[in-house]
Amino acid sequence: MKVHYECFTCMANQCKKIVEMATEDLEKRRNAMFLAAKAIAREYHEDAIPAIAGSKVFLELYKFLKNDDPFREYKEKSREVAKKVVSLLRNRLEIDVKTAIKLSIIGNIIDFSVGFSPEDLERQVEEMLKEDLYVDESNELTERIKEAEVILYLTDNVGEHYFDSILLEKIREISKAEIYIAGKEGPIINDVTVEDLKRDGFERFGKIISTGTRVVGVPLDEISEEFREIFEKADVIIAKGQGNFETLSEIKDERVFFLLKAKCPAVARGLGVPQGALVCKRNI
């Protein structure tokens, strides 16, 4: 997905939040936003992909601010709240594969870029459990999972990955496939890193791998050779969240299933769905 007109202000707003999270020094905040303005001017162009352009800008800010993970506190809060909510869901619900797919999608509300507050998670999950998927290709995904020999699961945000654990459990129950679970090489906004996956025991679901980059989504020009080999041999690729949609919608690859909530107008427009829609859609 190429940038839409809203992406410019979205990048600028995220830069402002990063600066405020990283330092209390007003002069440093001011100078950081001068740097951000120049970086956005360079990266925001007609061929830019939002997830990639934004990542490059944010990483420059991290370096300038000498803060390699300004989202650490936000991620810890998201992790704490999500773990509690997922535990409640496991006790309350009869969870089959279709429900697990829906819960994984619901978990995609945990997203800094749209101003999500972790304290609202339980209430929002309760509301979305009543919703149907606007695009529901979960039966097709389930059949592909059962037939697959290799499955690649692309994680998105910290906290959301606890919802992913529900789906990964079900995948292991219905499939004999070799499962790879991908995280980022290092911190970028509130995305899941390899370190996060290892810390939270995701090795019990499959092999944890790095995309080889800190850039959001799957930037095919920047991924590692190890990741590329797994990406190319996978029979099914489950791509969580907007960043993975923004990068992988550029290639029409029917192995890819997008699982996300269309939180921003640009992504909703790209998917052809109303903003806020819950989506399980094959990339064709």
Rounded CA gap, 180 and 186, in Å? 18
Rounded average pLDDT over 188-206: 97
* Overall CATH class of domain 72-282: alpha beta
The verdict on domain 6-65 having CATH code 1.10.8.380 is yes
Distance set, CA 243 to CA 98, 105, 123, 136, 150 (Å): 23, 14, 25, 20, 22
Give all strands (DSSP E) within the chain, no chain letters: 135-136, 150-154, 178-183, 207-210, 236-240, 256-261, 278-282
pTM: 0.95
For the stretch 145-196, pLDDT in tens is: 999 999 999 999 999 999 999 999 999 999 999 999 999 999 999 999 999 9
Residue 258 phi/psi, 5° resolution? -90, 125
The segment(s) of the chain belonging to CATH 3.40.50.10880 are: 72-282
The segment(s) of the chain belonging to CATH 1.10.8.380 are: 6-65
Tell me the pLDDT band of 128, cut-offs 50, 70 and 90.
confident
